[in-house]
Structure 1
């Protein structure tokens, strides 16, 4: 009986159907039959990675191999190991490898490559060491299989060791191996080594140039990526679709890349067009991205998700929702990423109903079970003060990883419910879940709200005991907590302990100095951050302008305001205008203050008018104050703040009848200018044995003992 060629079938199920027919006919199957069957499974385009069906098929092949004694053939076992690895069954592959009666370099390479591709770098490296100990001589394929495991910063030392080993044993650096090494160094942020390898290549092909363009793009050097592309064209090489995608991943100018794509004839390539749509959307040209998408016949979820995300970034939630609906209408099932993109755009209360509707969609389609979707939903509900809903979502989840705890704790802090955040942290700690830097930063923000200096100090102690890196947002949160809890000296010590402070950290210490009226120190920090090559942002200037306001430095404040606009091209926000108007008003320069308001690019809000009214109280400008009070009344008649300011202004000039009238108006309007809260932290009482008194056993003192363990 002539056996059919199983390798002709592109679908593994078809090949298996023929294979089962052969078994029923008791055909004499040999090693070649099994080799062709495995090849059909490997080349199948319709397979689902890691599916139970695939595992069952691979197990059936292995069983038949053992039953017929064909497992003795080395190349058949190697192919089966490759099949297991391609589908993610690393344990099955390793067990089969250990049971093999004989091994060669190819079988070692297949297992090493499988571990690398499945994200197990430690196993791949350990297997390579074991291969050397068992006296197998690696070849260039071994190095190529191993390098993806070293393509991350923490494995740079291992990557260099493997590179050195290859040179030592005389493995020739062919273009393929050189390209792999170039890519590995780039992904480890060692661009200098990538450049050196690239320059030493005698025969650079298109893949070599693509690798180098990608290396520049991955490390944020757009200009160098474009220059490398131009040099490639000068060498007479024709760019490939990968070249275009590497340029787009480097955040190149969309219009320029678009022209090259048309010129090089890649408009029919789905991957290139999808990357171009994503590039337009990423850089804020969402309408252009949508136009390009609509002109292209093929529709895919990646492009639509990028467009949805682009609209949400611009705050155009309605357009994002429209695109999402279009996705459903096209029969493309949105995934968790698309849902998260929309939920991220829900930022204002008027959009809350849309967020709830998308929550219902997630429940209906099973997307809300995704951990990232649940985290975004928790953050959304917390953002709109729906903490009960956020807690319900949280406690309904069977698995609560650290990222979910962080979402809820951060959400409670953002909603102004820091006490709940502290309680949650204690539950998390008692459950054995260890906090990370994000948890600590969120809790420190909560300490700022509540004025809990002692808890903030306890958190700082936890950071020091557990060697949590005091950099970036952790250090910034510590500085912010100490300044707002009255310990500027501690804030300064934390700042000085940070070797390379980021812009946010500089902003935090500048704001702290402004808060305490130390304007000269704030100005000094502003100069130092510029000396370090950092460019100030809007928050930096907000801190500097606040320092000018506290110090009454009118002309200095106006100078910084001009620098902000002309030198750095930053558009002032309402807060910046409030600072400038307050600064001018407190100095009695009301004409200049009103001129600033009249020239604002954005409509002034109650804060801008309110700070000018406050200045009228200081300067006893009753007539202007009355005009401002009328404007504030029209903006928000229930805001008790301007009633209090107007009442104080009348009291200063002795117009007590008007004081009573304003108070009556405030009472009738429903405004409340009388209530206020001061927060102090009280040290709990202890008895003679240093035990807490029963009435003082509360959250602040007892539950936080878990941190000290």
Structure 2
């Protein structure tokens, strides 16, 4: 198609090279009465794609792109296939996939490039199923896929659940005779690695006739993604033996597998990669991730890249280490450098606010989020909900939640979990009712949080109702959901149901084993707890601190002194796990109840952490059982200094005196207890009087439970 006049060539040149203001130049072209043709629009789109102002699908970017499309339609340039294809690519790169697809559907003619652009766009935007559907549609339209088609589609198949589709695409490549192409082989290696089929990745790599640096990088990345550090390093050494020069991608792949930092840092400096911003950013992030925050900050200062990613990593590292002041200082630095912090930066600070003295800082960042519009981001809202719940400020959390316009599932989960953690399980159950009426479907995390709330309240009926909901909706009873069910039934008095849930899980994870062991310990079924411990080891699982806490509790309840000391020895010596205060309380209580006070005191003297009132309290309880008055008096004095308001210690001491008939001392202790506001007689009973409003017709659990 020929238009009346051609645009000025100098304007063409300006349009192509001035990528900062492509639309400004285009408007100047129109004001000069130049008549743009297909080449002009092609250059406009190309210039806009390289412009930083078109980096996201903002409302302004969408509006400006619509202007280009309007001009394209007015001048009849939409007849040109390659212009429409470029426009589809533009929409896809901005993440506006629906517009791109509609434009594709409106095209009178399509070629293989158009199909490839659409497939690639869906892959890059994280829509694998759409990409596969377009591929199938393309085959039905009798278009033959080429190398670019297969390479564009393979990233969409890089998920375990899509490995079958990936193999079928691989078959298309073989049938089309494309599998000897290095680019396609690299894409296949990467796809199989993401699907955790390293054997296939290694086979393809070994079969390659020509291996370039990209091929080696792909294989190093494949091993790194699957946690095989030694093989990744071996692959790197083989690359060097081949005489190939590593690229910045090679180094970044090595850093991604958490290699030893010093040698890699030296190699980066030696090979001159410090001039590459992406390498420096990765190095800063790696130092920050491994806890070397000061080194990360020094490196950032020495190689200033003004990258928000680096600063966010440093902020996150400070927060994780509990240094909130330094995290805030680093956050302020982003403002001084004219770098606008994003939701991830803000949430990095919020995660570190775990101490009550920092609560005011969290409130200040809440204000910053409101002022800069970041509060609308789900990450920030959920982080604030978690923070307020952590400090039991449920009123603030609920107020924030109610003010939110959009409430995705993650936000409902945050507020429900927060209520449970703050001990407000009744509010959590009421929120669950509201969530169902609003049309949001719960997931395993929602159910697990509610089951934990049922444990707090002793609501067996609601727990059964939730179990029935899981069964009716075919939700998988495994990992955290199954663990929560077992825990709920154990603590609500139905160990038989807990056992049924446990044995219905095909491959229980360690947390699930821990839950059933704790359940058996709670009910005094020590031998079943010990049997479970042996079985999880046979399954190849390595027990953790919670596992040992369960078996130690079983030993304490059953008075198994020998077994308890053996488990404690296995924990500290064989598995090299440092005991916590609860572990020490268990072993001290076990020895004390057996009358082995010398051994119990030796354990306390050799503790690597300072004993708390719970550890001393278990020994005092043992003194009550063994009528050790003298030692009990010493312990009572120590506990009075640690926590003089705990009436439980007064009750124990009073009981010791009562057993040996020292009634005057009993009266004295009771008087001291009244002075602190307790009489040792108060208690709490919980009666279940409520059930879920939206499930009251289905409170009976399926008989297949």
CA distance in 1, matches of 2:543, 2:658: 42
Q: 1:607 to 1:75 in 2, by over 3 A?
A: same
Q: 1:7 to 1:80 in 2, by over 3 A?
A: farther
| 239-248 or 300-309, larger mean C-alpha shift | 300-309
CA distance in 2, matches of 1:384, 1:251: 34
Alignment of 1:103-122 (within 5 A): 103-122=110-129
The aligned residue for residue 352 of structure 1 is 359
Alignment of 1:262-661 (within 5 A): 262-661=269-668
Please report how far the alpha carbon of residue 7 of structure 1 lies from its aligned counterpart in structure 2 after TM superposition.
5.1
Alignment of 1:202-213 (within 5 A): 202-213=209-220
1:86 and 2:93 are equivalent in the alignment? yes
Q: 1:99 to 1:411 in 2, by over 3 A?
A: closer
The aligned residue for residue 198 of structure 1 is 205
Alignment match of 1:699 (pick from 677, 685, 690):
690
1:253 and 2:244 are equivalent in the alignment? no
Structure 1 unaligned residues grouped into runs of 5+: 682-697
Q: 1:535 to 1:176 in 2, by over 3 A?
A: same
Contact 1:11 / 1:41 at 8 angstroms: preserved in 2? no
The aligned residue for residue 6 of structure 1 is 12
Please report how far the alpha carbon of residue 33 of structure 1 lies from its aligned counterpart in structure 2 after TM superposition.
2.7
CA RMSD of aligned residues (A): 2.1
CA distance in 2, matches of 1:385, 1:610: 27
1:221 and 2:212 are equivalent in the alignment? no
CA distance in 2, matches of 1:616, 1:221: 53
Contact 1:462 / 1:708 at 8 angstroms: preserved in 2? no
The aligned residue for residue 3 of structure 2 is none
TM-score by length of 1: 0.93
Please report how far the alpha carbon of residue 590 of structure 1 lies from its aligned counterpart in structure 2 after TM superposition.
1.0
Please report how far the alpha carbon of residue 205 of structure 1 lies from its aligned counterpart in structure 2 after TM superposition.
0.8
Please report how far the alpha carbon of residue 584 of structure 1 lies from its aligned counterpart in structure 2 after TM superposition.
0.9
Q: 1:481 to 1:150 in 2, by over 3 A?
A: same
Please report how far the alpha carbon of residue 707 of structure 1 lies from its aligned counterpart in structure 2 after TM superposition.
6.1
CA displacement 1:517-548 (0-9 Å, x = unmatched): 12221111111111212111111111111111
Q: 1:531 to 1:445 in 2, by over 3 A?
A: same
| 544-553 or 316-325, larger mean C-alpha shift | 316-325
Q: 1:21 to 1:319 in 2, by over 3 A?
A: closer
CA distance in 1, matches of 2:437, 2:97: 35
Q: 1:346 to 1:66 in 2, by over 3 A?
A: closer
Please report how far the alpha carbon of residue 572 of structure 1 lies from its aligned counterpart in structure 2 after TM superposition.
1.0
SS class of match (1:4) = helix
Q: 1:328 to 1:170 in 2, by over 3 A?
A: same
CA distance in 1, matches of 2:520, 2:31: 85
CA displacement 1:419-460 (0-9 Å, x = unmatched): 111111112122222211001101111111111112111111
TM-score by length of 2: 0.94
Contact 2:464 / 2:699 at 8 angstroms: preserved in 1? no
CA distance in 1, matches of 2:355, 2:86: 56
| 255-264 or 322-331, larger mean C-alpha shift | 322-331
CA distance in 2, matches of 1:627, 1:618: 16
CA distance in 2, matches of 1:381, 1:439: 19
The aligned residue for residue 237 of structure 1 is 244
CA distance in 2, matches of 1:312, 1:27: 57
Contact 1:7 / 1:40 at 8 angstroms: preserved in 2? no
RCO comparison, higher one (Cα < 8 Å, 6+): 2
CA distance in 2, matches of 1:533, 1:305: 38
Please report how far the alpha carbon of residue 46 of structure 1 lies from its aligned counterpart in structure 2 after TM superposition.
4.1
1:27 and 2:34 are equivalent in the alignment? yes
Q: 1:708 to 1:92 in 2, by over 3 A?
A: same
Q: 1:7 to 1:542 in 2, by over 3 A?
A: farther
CA displacement 1:216-261 (0-9 Å, x = unmatched): 1112222222222122122221111111111111122222322221
CA displacement 1:577-621 (0-9 Å, x = unmatched): 111111111011111111111111111111011111100000001
Contact 1:7 / 1:36 at 8 angstroms: preserved in 2? no
Contact 2:150 / 2:173 at 8 angstroms: preserved in 1? yes
Q: 1:22 to 1:404 in 2, by over 3 A?
A: closer
